[in-house]
Structure 1
Amino acid sequence: MDKRILHVWQPVTCLEKANVIFAKLTYGNSNETNGLRLELTDGAGNAVEIVYDQWSVTMVDYIWTFRHVNEIKRCDLNRLIDRADFSVLNDSTAQHFYKMENSDFLEWYDQLPWLGSGDVPHVEHHIYMYNDGVFEVIADYEPKFIVKKAGS
């Protein structure tokens, strides 16, 4: 039985649902880029920059890990999406994200040497979907969201 649970998460409402057509990921530790930054842009030109820039003393990095997968390969999420509670949405016409409970990604990560989710119980698996793929991040804090409205 699949124990994974998706929790609907909508920290911003600036992106049009099912119309996020562009994604840009940067990761680094320099004057120009600190941490992981994911920018998602919808068809109208509205964008949100998702910023993981808090230094994790536990992991000695900004995030634990991340991955990108083609949306077709992550069709396994469809069953979980069907069971998710969408009543928590602030705006049903806006894009939303997910947090995964009983995460298989985190379970995989816990098999690696050194610290894991048993040592840091508040770690989270964040999922960001767009038209061409799925970005997933494991971190021990929520990122910042910077809204960039089209034309501003």
Structure 2
Amino acid sequence: MNKEKLTVWEPIKTKDNQFSRLYNELVFFEMHYQKDFVLVFEDTDHSKKYIFTYDYNKSQKYAIITFRLFDEMTRPDIEELISKVGKEREEEGLSKLTYEPNFYKVENSSFLSWYDNIFPARASLQPKAEHHLYITSDYIIDVLSEYDPTVAVEFQ
């Protein structure tokens, strides 16, 4: 298997800058999973909520394939992958990042491989699966899904 690689993902577009893991943290607020799978985050001054919704679609059985949540301190593997992002961007001729992103897509995902070992039929049932990675001030959330969530901003 190829090694895991993080690609910066920018699902929230802001006029000033994206959230930064170190300087403008994203705070995990709540999660709901009934038909839709919903992740809610806040900015650090609690003035805005960012609602990520993976919509339930009748053509598929569930809104997402699966997810997991870790305490942020328990994932040294993620820190190692993050440290490689800047070098890889430079090698690919992309601009240098001016912030530490909160959102990534994981290529060659070990989480997806692990899931496929448990449920081999996934590859034929959900062939476009992606691994979305959310890094907040306290948690790391992994989501396997076939599509990107919609994002809504709510002012408080």
Band the TM-score falls in, shorter-chain normalisation: 0.7 to 0.9
The two structures have a TM-score, normalised by structure 1, of: 0.80
Note the alpha carbon deviations across 1:46-97, whole angstroms, 9 max, x for none.
Answer: 2211000142635x111100110111111211111111138568x8458530
Tell me what 1:129 maps to.
Answer: 135
CA contact (8 A) 1:13 1:95 kept: no
Which has a greater percent of helix?
A: 2
2:27 to 16, 21, 24: 21
The percentage of aligned residue pairs carrying the same residue is 29
Q: Which amino acid aligns with 1:136?
A: D
Aligned residues: 143
For structure 2, which runs of at least 5 residues remain unmatched after alignment?
Answer: none
Q: How does 1:141-152 map to 2 (within 5 A)?
A: 141-149=147-155, 151=156
Displacement of 1:22 after TM fit? 3.3
Q: Which amino acid aligns with 1:82?
A: S
SS in 2 for 1:62: coil
Structure 2 residue 12 is matched with structure 1 residue 9:
no
Q: Which amino acid aligns with 1:106?
A: L
For structure 1, which runs of at least 5 residues remain unmatched after alignment?
Answer: 30-34
RMSD: 2.6
SS in 1 for 2:111: helix
Structure 2 residue 90 is matched with structure 1 residue 81:
no
Q: Which amino acid aligns with 1:3?
A: K
Displacement of 1:27 after TM fit? 0.5
2:107 to 101, 109, 112: 101
Structure 2 residue 71 is matched with structure 1 residue 70:
yes
Q: Distance in 1 between matches of 2:62 and 2:95?
A: 32
Range with bigger deviation, 9-18 or 66-75: 9-18
Q: Distance in 2 between matches of 1:55 and 1:88?
A: 37
Q: Distance in 2 between matches of 1:98 and 1:120?
A: 20
The two structures have a TM-score, normalised by structure 2, of: 0.78
Displacement of 1:104 after TM fit? 0.7
